[in-house]
Chain A
Amino acid sequence: MPDPSAEPARFRGRPLDVGPDEPLARALARRGRRLLGRSLRYHRPRAPFCGVGHCTNCLVRVNGVPNVRACRYVPSPGDRIVSEAGWPSPEVDLLAAFDLLFPRGLDALHGFRRPAWATPLYQRAIRRLAGFGRLPDAGVPPAVTPGEERRVELAVVGAGRSARALLAATGAGPGTLVVERDRALGLPDGVESLDRTTAAFLPPPEEGADRPFTLLAVGDRGRAHRIRARTVVVATGGYDASLLFAGSDRPGVLTAEGALALAPVPERPPFRRAVLVGGGERVAGLLALWGTHVEAVIAPGTVGPEVARAASEIGVPIYPRTLLLEATGGRRIRRVTLAARGGGARFSLSTDAVVLAHRRLPNSPLLFQAGASMAWRSEAGAYFPALGPGFATSVPGLYAVGEVAGFTGAAITESGRRLAPSLGGRGPVDLSGLTTLLDGAPGPLDGYYPELVDRLPRRSKTVACPCEDVLLGELADFHARGYRGIEVAKRYTGLGTGLCQGRYCVPEAVLLLAAWERRPAPEVGRITARPPVVPVPLGALAGLPEGGARTGP
């Protein structure tokens, strides 16, 4: 418990009212303060979006360390927290003039070339504005956090429903280690967990080694772990996808996870009236939770019967097969512009939030890194591990369960339970009757983006990659110049090279390029899952004991 006599944490000089275990972004949102960031190039206002520590919208400087995610950071007494974005402040940023001066965007690739004598001046000016935060203060303790190495039988990444069901059913005890990015709750006795620790890197196993897997994981407080394991289960779940529209980077547009992360209690949403985007069971759940605060449900595709039922019970209008064209407003959105697909007229709705719940994507980078064979599933617009009998991936000793393996609803828990005998070496398990995302149905965004791009308002910016402020127009220019493929698009535009490591922009860009290039998404390619899975501090990795032999008892 924090010492009540201790100096409180301070945000921009003011004492911060923060509850136990409450992340900073939620504490600030309770006081009505959401605008924490400004975008990299155009200094557009940014507020929390993803709520799970991936996007670039809520970076603050904590005790001299830049780029700390407010949605994940739990303040401690005595913390000094400031905002680095914006000049002079995130709310009033004179550099937002760039947004007005360059309505079609700033072409850095072709710009700043003439006259020759001005090159050093351009470069000096650009370097004064570059980067998110400033360099960490000198002597920020601790420079290097000692790490540890441990050897286990079974490492389970994630402590969600599927992992818990697995652990309960195996009777797993000593020798099992769970790595969980939040707090692992409800684990069986004797199962050890590393809480608030994120798996960062899982290279392919070393053949012939006693413990072939090496997993690097880093705790929120900067401690790194090198875990040697005989078997690894990846149960990393999924996350809510982004959606492209004009102003999709504006404050008030957020994922369902982002909205839940900001809610002081789940029943009290962090908005007055929201538009819910999506038509599946996730939207039905959110309607049950926040029904009276929902202005409308809009879906890129069809709307499931459970959503229709829930919405009609509380009188919320539904707009199936609808294009979300634009969100407008200043520091907070006020209005969305919509149009029915197939050429319907534009109309608009008043709202102060857009909550994205139309599509879940698997948290799959660890599986890619480990070398598991992955298959593109067009119904989800994502890659999932190709699973053999008993949830085995193509890599011996590596298993995938739950949402990351494509299961949905009750099958998430059930998949974990059914994996247990397979891990215990008691033969293949029965996969029948498990519902998965992967039912062969057309995806929710089937044909959506080509239709959208034709109708996007020309006068406002559509930001295709919010971390790097890459505009949709730059992607279109890339295509028009004859370049092809997502790997080249990333290198040409910078899309996907930001702090979220392409989690939010790349899946949408792949669908868009597939439509423009008139070929299936797998041919557009995928961006190599370059380690680490999440950005990890140098000081944490530097504290790991020297590598040494990977094999041994």
Chain B
Amino acid sequence: MTAPTRDRYRIIIVGGGVVGLFTSYHLARAGAGPILVVERGFLSSGASGRNGGGVRQQWETRATVRLAREAVGEYRRFGREFGLNPYFRQGGYLFLAESPSEAERLRAVHAIVASEGLPSRLLRPEDVARIAPDVARDRVIAASYLASDGTLYPFPVLWGLYERVRALGVEVLLGVEAAGVVRTEGRAGGIVTASGPIAAERVVNAAGGWSAEFSRRAGLEPANAPTRHEILATEPVRPFLDPMVIRLSDGLYVSQTMRGELVGGRTMPHPPGTAGGMSTSVDLLPAMARSLVDLLPRTAPLRILRAWSGYYDDSPDGLPIIGEDPRLPGFVQANGFGGHGFMLAPASTRRVAQAVLGERSDLDPATFGPARFLDPDRPSTPERLQPG
């Protein structure tokens, strides 16, 4: 569908990725229609169709651990509720530390995760062999592991949401860009598209890598900013690697999909921003090859099949931005997920929906609300467990 059926909605959600679609799902179930989702590209054209599919619960921030735990539960049920199977496989997340300071970070994360009641484990290097026998351990001095973390295929999640929310009466416009925000008496009163304005009582900014730009179009200076990240996949071989493996030293993350491809990325010296578009840089392939062969020596003869890139939507403190923007009533931020939007989406969007409906959620506004970046004296303790 490329044209709306009405000229006025209760809620317009900008962004048809996992955050926008899941938000529309929770809202539609709460009877908050009519709801319109506008997506500038095709379904899965943004980061929701470009991520590595990791879902983990090991975080430095308690509230994020709780969101992630809820998301894991939702993804376990997803296939039965939505009719499409995302093959969420709980093969665990294995973090590797190679220096005392990295090991200290893993210990700190472990303490928080374990105190939230999740059976996270600190491992010695020799224990790593039982979980991932092919991982090189020569430089590993510590590891942490949580067996209930996992990986999924992002695409069936998008299709399942798309089909379900439309069945619930949500309209999803594809290939329509929100060029601006209609302001009515100091409030967000709708969006502007190439074919004219569409009115709404609430506008949700769930535009992922484009959300900073959309804030700007709404006249708001954004705190978040997009950064290009690259990822690649190898040819499929018989699965040998159960967990997602993350090495803190080079930010390498790699997992093996159900069909056998290794999918992963690593920290690259990219400047922040969207320079290079969604292209692949010439240095990625050799850099990633070095990291992968170093981690999994037996993969050296395996071939890289394709590389691609997408945008992380980074907030200054590494935590999502969820809530109504105090500078523009009616304008709700649902962004800044920093490359972790997909894994948290089922849970985080429930809070977005609450914010849209003006309900209180269990998220501390001082930690997650957009207002936190407006206070220049605010102390900052960034979430540092960034890769994967």
Contacts and interface: CB of A to CB of B under 8 A. Distances in A.
B85 A499 contact: no
Interface stretch (B92-100, B104-112, B299-307, B316-324): B299-307
B134 interface: yes
A140 B42 contact: no
A132 B237 contact: yes
Nearest to A485: B42
B259 A488 contact: no
A536 B286 CA distance: 11
12 contacts: A127-B238, A130-B238, A130-B258, A135-B240, A140-B300, A144-B300, A491-B155, A499-B235, A535-B305, A537-B304, A539-B293, A541-B286
B141 interface: no
A119 B297 CA distance: 31
> Sorted from nearest, which 3 A-B pairs have the closest CB atoms?
A131-B260, A535-B303, A539-B300
A530 B307 contact: yes
Contacts, number: 180
A116 B80 contact: yes
A134 interface: yes
B56 interface: no
A544 B300 CA distance: 13
Contacts of A501: 305-306
A9 to B, nearest CB: 18
Contact of A110 (B77, B83, B283, B285): B83
B228 to A, nearest CB: 14
Interface string A224-257: 1010000000000000000000000000000000
B258 A541 contact: no
Interface string A103-126: 000001111111010010001001
B365 interface: no
A432 interface: no
A135 B307 CA distance: 21
A216 B285 contact: yes
Interface string A477-492: 0000101110110011
A136 B235 CA distance: 12
A131 B292 contact: no
Interface string B128-165: 00000010000000000000000000011001000100
A547 B282 contact: yes
A525 B175 CA distance: 13
Interface in B264-316: 279-283, 285-290, 292-294, 297-308
A530 B235 CA distance: 14
B236 A131 contact: yes
B84 A109 contact: yes
A501 B79 CA distance: 29
A304 interface: no
Contact of A483 (B43, B234, B302): B43
Nearest to A204: B279
A502 B281 CA distance: 22
Nearest to B307: A531
Contacts of A491: 44, 49, 155
B290 A542 contact: yes
A224 B49 CA distance: 30
Interface string A493-532: 0000001010000000000000000000000010010111
B350 to A, nearest CB: 22
B280 A203 contact: yes
B326 interface: no
A547 B283 contact: yes
B259 A130 contact: yes
B303 A537 contact: yes
A201 B282 contact: yes
Contacts of A113: 79-80, 83, 85
A536 B285 contact: yes
B247 interface: no
A135 B134 contact: yes
A143 B300 contact: yes
A486 B258 CA distance: 23
A114 B77 CA distance: 10
Interface string B344-385: 000000000000000000000000000000000000000000
B238 A131 contact: yes
A46 to B, nearest CB: 16
Nearest to B308: A530
A224 B283 CA distance: 13
Contact of B303 (A137, A528, A538, A550): A538
Interface string B64-89: 00000000000011011001110101
A269 interface: no
Contacts of B43: 483, 488
Contacts of B79: 112-113
A130 B306 contact: no
Given A538-B293, A538-B301, A538-B303, 11 more contacts: A110-B83, A112-B79, A116-B80, A131-B260, A133-B237, A134-B240, A137-B298, A144-B293, A201-B280, A203-B281, A547-B282
A509 B239 CA distance: 29
Contacts of B87: 112, 123, 126
Nearest to B260: A131
A538 B289 contact: yes
Contacts of A222: 301
B238 A492 contact: no
A539 B305 contact: no
B293 A547 contact: no
A138 interface: yes
A211 to B, nearest CB: 13
